[in-house]
């Protein structure tokens, strides 16, 4: 099911962010930058999977062009902006800024993920039905 696949991807991204924060808290800026780079890439890849495949397919099947997918895209834009700010703060060794922006980003990201996991992904699973496994394979292929 899409729900499990995408929820697992959310969790994998969360782990990378936690590792980045933990490294920075331990004053290992280089390790923090490595983990944040992985988190940054994984999170943007997650958004791309949704925007380039999942949402488009859902919209085509349901005819819903606005609504939940439009809101998720808007939130992705906001989150991408925060990620860019965090990337700059980390590169410029502004660690307090990194943590401050990161706190806002994580609150927003957790709320965003909850909406997807509790509402949107179940809707997508119902809409795709047996085609869900094909979609998961398409999403997996995007990573290569």
> Is residue 66 predicted with pLDDT exceeding 90?
no
Cα–chain-centroid distance for residue 70? 15
Question: Helical H runs in the chain?
Answer: 2-25, 29-49, 55-62, 68-91, 95-115, 121-128, 132-142
Higher pLDDT, 65 or 107: 107
Q: Span 112-141, mean pLDDT?
A: 95
Nearest alpha carbon to residue 80 among 39, 117, 35, 119: 39
From the options 1.20.120.520, 1.10.1740.10, 1.20.1090.10, 1.10.3720.10, give the CATH code of 2-142.
1.20.120.520
Q: Span 74-87, mean pLDDT?
A: 98
CA–CA gap between residue 117 and residue 72 (Å, rounded): 12
Q: For the segment 110-124, what is each residue's pLDDT rounded down to a tens digit?
A: 999 999 999 999 999
Residue ranges of domains in the chain: 2-142
Quick one: pLDDT at residue 86?
98
Model confidence band, residue 51 (pLDDT cutoffs 50, 70, 90): very high
Residues in Cβ contact with 5 at an 8 Å cutoff, skipping those fewer than 6 apart:
136, 139
Q: For residue 11, how many other CB atoms are within 10 A of its CB? A: 10
Quick one: pLDDT at residue 143?
77
Q: For residue 31, how many other CB atoms are within 10 A of its CB? A: 15
Do the Cβ atoms of 123 and 71 come closer than 8 Å?
Answer: no
pTM exceeds 0.85 for this model:
yes
Model confidence band, residue 144 (pLDDT cutoffs 50, 70, 90): low
Do the Cβ atoms of 132 and 139 come closer than 8 Å?
Answer: no
């Amino acid at each position: 099911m899409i729900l499990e696949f995408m929820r697992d991807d959310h969790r994998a991204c969360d782990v990378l962010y936690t590792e980045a924060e933990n490294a920075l808290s331990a004053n290992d800026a280089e390790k923090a930058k490595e983990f944040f780079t992985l988190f940054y890439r994984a999170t943007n890849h997650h958004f791309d999977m949704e925007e380039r495949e999942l949402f488009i397919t859902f919209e085509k099947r349901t005819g819903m062009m606005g609504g939940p997918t439009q809101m998720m895209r808007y939130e992705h834009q906001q989150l991408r902006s925060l990620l860019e700010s965090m990337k700059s703060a980390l590169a410029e060794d502004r660690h307090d800024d990194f943590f401050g922006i990161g706190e806002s980003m994580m609150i927003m990201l957790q709320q965003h993920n909850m909406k997807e996991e509790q509402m949107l992904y179940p809707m997508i699973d119902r809409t795709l039905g047996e085609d869900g496994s094909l979609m998961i394979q398409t999403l997996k292929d995007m990573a290569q």
